Amino acid sequence: MWFLAVNSAFLTTVALATPVTPVAPPTSTQANVAYAQFARAVEQSGRTRGFAVLITSDGRWLAPDIDAEGPAPVLLLRDGRRMSTRVLANDEITRLALIFGPTDGATVISEAGTLRDGQTVWAISAQDVHRGMVVGEDKVGIDEDTRRYLPLREYRFENLSLVGSMPVLDQEGRLCGFLSASLAIDSSSANMVRSGQFGPGGIAVSYSINPTVLRRVVSGFRMAEPRVNHPTIGAFWRNYPAGEGALVTQVLPESPAAQAGLQAGFVILSIDGEPVDNAVKLATMLFNMSVGDTVNMTVRDLDRTFTIQLKVGANAKPEASAQASETR
């Protein structure tokens, strides 16, 4: 069964960031090193979790997955010092975190817009950058650690060895991805991500949540009270065994689905004219929507096919999120 939900969190109130001026792309070794100064390594329990980027001028850093029950994460500053930080929020859906610490002279980063196939991008750490390119359109992917399906974007990089999670910037210095070794499009892709190599010449294949979802997380983390609202319709579903579509198995009371008239036993065939091939396709389609969107959902009930209007909502129960194990 399937359900999309929201993870919401807030701990403190701080000022919002000022507008960001795009940064010129690196064109030399010296510029590459400067580009890398966007990022700072994050450690927890003595282990590198990945690299964080500054998203507000007051010290909010977008960071890789942080254990909320563990010790305070540590930010490695440019002069070699290690500074403790506070966790302001965790988004369980994307496994990105918001930490608060010293700005350390880092540049506040902005988010990229639409990515195109073949576009040049840069994976950055605190010491180096890796040139890469966008490959194709969004793909249906999975976070192998949480078993959640997510819309992913594929990248290929030169000689990239992925350590923890790593930010991806476009040529204007804007954030467009956050690589993670746990993200893959299938089991064979997962093996390639872990090994860091694919094909000849040291080309690494890696995956990130797509730009739409990433912008949602960053926007939520920049709010005065950090809160990420992922879309939901308030229903459970699974693959329709007799053909294409998603079979609704449960509708939560007073949810957007219930208010629209969706019922258990209905088969969802399309949304705004785009076919729903299976349960996974429906989950990824909804992830790309925004809370408050109104969609036209075509459904079938026995021998009757009709369209209902549904307003996408948000749900604050992260334990009810869509998981791959529920498709079986």
CA distances 292 to 160, 212, 230, 260, 284, Å, are 39, 15, 11, 13, 17
In this structure, the number of other CB atoms found within 10 A of the CB of residue 16 comes to 11
Per-residue pLDDT, 171:
86
Per-residue pLDDT, 203:
76
Per-residue pLDDT, 33:
54
Q: What is the end-to-end Cα distance of the chain in Å, rounded?
A: 8
Per-residue pLDDT, 36:
60
pLDDT tens digit sequence for 103-137: 999 999 998 888 889 999 999 887 778 889 999 88
Rounded to two decimals, the pTM is: 0.78
Per-residue pLDDT, 287:
86
Contacts of 190 (CB under 8 A, 6+ apart): 144, 184
Per-residue pLDDT, 218:
96
Domains and CATH numbers, the chain: 33-109 (2.40.10.10), 120-220 (2.40.10), 234-311 (2.30.42.10)
In this structure, the number of other CB atoms found within 10 A of the CB of residue 118 comes to 9
Spans in the chain with pLDDT lower than 70: 1-36, 163, 186-202, 315-328
Per-residue pLDDT, 126:
73
Residue type, 120: T
Cα 33 from Cα 248, distance rounded (Å): 52
